Structures are given as structure tokens and as C-alpha cells.
């Protein structure tokens, strides 16, 4: 899945209602880190952040509350979902259930051309990460994250079930909040992560549903364990090592 297919960073659709535009803007802010887990924010602050009328923001809030993404705290305004062990467990369980079902469909329906294109985007990221000036590539990590999420989104959307896709997108916001709070992709994890994806893609190209399912479950379990056990400060410190992606952290860790 190419970077340009990432729905979370696409421009706001002008054909949507004001409420839908506000929700799409909220989604974008979560994926870009403009809204963080546990953050308190007022309706007027949201109005400014999303560049939307107050009425549209107010109409959007019940949808966010129903999804468990925000809650209203008296005298303090809105609080973005707080990340705790229960949220981590629930969000990753939902992700595993949906993606496994999607995989069992995708492994048999994806065309050879599509799988080749998906593999190509991953190899392009690897080539950029291996370049001598990789640490000066300002968009590399964002592009790598987009390629990662793009593959998962594509598998789910391939089911052709709008209800599942919508539920998956909402859960992706929860997972993204968790990752922004506990775990971000760093130069040292980029190459191992892309290589793990390539093993998964190879299983898809071989139409080996059992192997692909096992690799997917390992991928999701590793991501869940990472956010449960790795302190955020430890992750941040990896940005200050001065090492290239090729020489930092050889442990296999997915995005």
C-alpha cells in the first residue's frame, strides 16, 4: 500500500457535512500527534485546532464519546482517552480479531500486482533507511509509518464491509493514541520493522494463510508487548544516540 493511500492524512473532503469534517479533522490530529492521550481540551480549543465552527465541534462530540475517544469532565472540559492497561488490552484484541479475519480474505483475493506494489513500497523505505544520509531524511519515519498502516488498512478495506472498516478506523485511533503515549517508530526499529513486514508480504505472495496468520499475530503481539513494557523515555533516548538505522537495535521489533 503506497503512502498516498493513507486515509488518515488525506485532505479534508469538502463534500462532507460540517460534523463529518470536524471528525475527520480530529482523526487527522490524532494521527499527526496534535491531540494526545489524556489531554484536556475545551470545545473552543478544538474549534481552533480543527478550524471548524463551534456548532460542528459540538455535534461531533457525542460520536467521540460513544467511541470512547473522549469524555466530558465537569469544570475541566473534554479529556482525550487516557491510556491504561485495559485500553491497551482491549484495543489490541479488537485489532487482532479484525485483522485476522481480513488476512484470511486478503491472502486469497489480493492480486499478484497489488502484492508486488506493496512489497515495492516497503523496499523503497528500506533503501532510504540504508542510505548514508538516512538520519537527514526528514520524511523517512513518517513515510515508513504510513506504509505500515497502509498495509493493515488495505487488508481490512479489501473485505468490502463498511461497518468493519469504520470500526477498524475508530480502533486505529485508540491504537494510535497508545503508540503516541508509549511507543513511536525510531531509526533503530525502522529496518527490523520493514523486514518483518516483508516476511509477512512474502507469505501473502505464497498464498500461505497459516504462515501469514502466524506472522500477523506475532506482529500484533510484539507491538502490544512493546507498549506495555517499554518506558517512553527509553524510546525517546534512542533519538539521541547519533547512530544510523543500520547500527541501532538489531532486535526484531514491529512498527
CATH number, residue 105: 1.20.120.530
Q: Which residue has the cell 473532503?
A: 13
CB 137 within 8 A of CB 128: yes
Q: Tell me how crowded residue 16 is: count the other CB atoms within 10 A of its CB.
A: 12
Query: For 156, which DSSP code?
Result: H
Lowest mean pLDDT: which of 79-83, 130-134, 240-244?
240-244
Per cent of the chain over pLDDT 90 is 50
For residue range 158-214, what is the model confidence (pLDDT) as tens digits? 999 999 999 999 999 998 888 765 555 555 678 888 898 999 999 999 999 999 999
At residue 13, the 3 state secondary structure works out as: coil
Residue 67: burial class (beta carbons within 10 Å; 0-12, 13-18, 19+): middle
Q: Rounded CA gap, 200 and 145, in Å?
A: 16
For residue range 91-149, what is the model confidence (pLDDT) as tens digits? 999 999 999 999 999 999 999 999 999 999 999 999 999 888 888 888 998 899 889 99
Domain count, the chain: 2
Out of 86-95, 176-185, 226-235, give the one with best mean pLDDT.
86-95
Q: Where is the domain boundary, 80, 110, 136?
A: 80
Domain that holds residue 28: 3-80
Domain membership of residue 245 (yes or no) is: no
Per cent of the chain over pLDDT 70 is 80
Tell me: do 96 and 150 sit in the same domain: yes
Tell me: do 60 and 90 sit in the same domain: no
**What confidence score (pLDDT) does residue 180 get?**
67
Q: Kindly state the cell numbers that stand for 115.
A: 502484492
Amino acid at each position: 500500500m503506497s503512502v498516498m493511500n493513507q486515509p488518515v492524512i488525506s485532505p479534508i473532503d469538502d463534500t462532507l457535512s460540517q460534523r463529518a469534517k470536524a471528525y475527520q479533522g480530529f482523526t487527522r490530529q490524532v494521527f499527526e500527534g496534535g491531540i494526545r492521550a489524556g489531554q484536556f481540551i475545551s470545545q473552543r480549543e478544538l474549534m481552533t485546532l480543527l478550524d471548524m465552527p463551534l456548532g460542528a465541534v459540538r455535534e461531533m462530540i457525542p460520536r467521540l464519546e460513544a467511541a470512547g475517544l473522549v469524555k466530558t469532565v465537569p469544570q475541566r472540559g473534554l479529556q482525550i482517552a487516557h491510556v491504561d492497561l485495559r485500553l491497551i488490552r482491549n484495543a489490541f484484541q479488537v485489532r487482532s480479531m479484525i485483522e485476522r479475519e481480513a488476512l484470511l480474505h486478503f491472502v486469497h483475493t489480493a492480486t499478484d500486482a497489488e502484492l508486488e506494489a506493496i512489497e515495492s513500497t516497503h523496499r523503497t523505505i528500506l533503501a532510504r533507511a540504508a542510505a548514508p544520509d538516512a538520519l537527514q531524511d526528514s520524511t523517512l519515519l513518517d513515510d515508513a509509518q504510513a506504509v505500515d498502516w497502509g498495509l493493515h488498512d488495505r487488508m481490512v478495506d479489501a473485505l468490502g464491509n463498511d461497518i468493519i472498516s469504520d470500526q477498524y478506523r475508530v480502533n486505529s485511533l485508540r491504537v494510535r493514541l497508545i503508540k503516541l503515549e508509549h511507543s513511536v517508530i525510531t531509526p533503530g526499529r525502522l529496518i527490523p520493522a520493514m523486514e518483518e513486514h516483508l516476511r509477512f508480504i512474502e507469505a501473502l505472495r505464497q498464498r500461505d494463510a497459516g504462515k501469514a496468520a502466524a506472522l500477523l499475530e506475532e506482529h500484533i503481539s510484539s507491538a502490544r508487548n512493546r507498549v506495555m513494557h517499554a518506558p517512553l523515555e527509553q524510546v525517546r533516548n534512542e533519538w539521541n544516540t547519533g547512530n544510523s538505522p543500520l547500527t541501532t537495535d538489531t532486535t526484531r521489533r514491529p512498527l
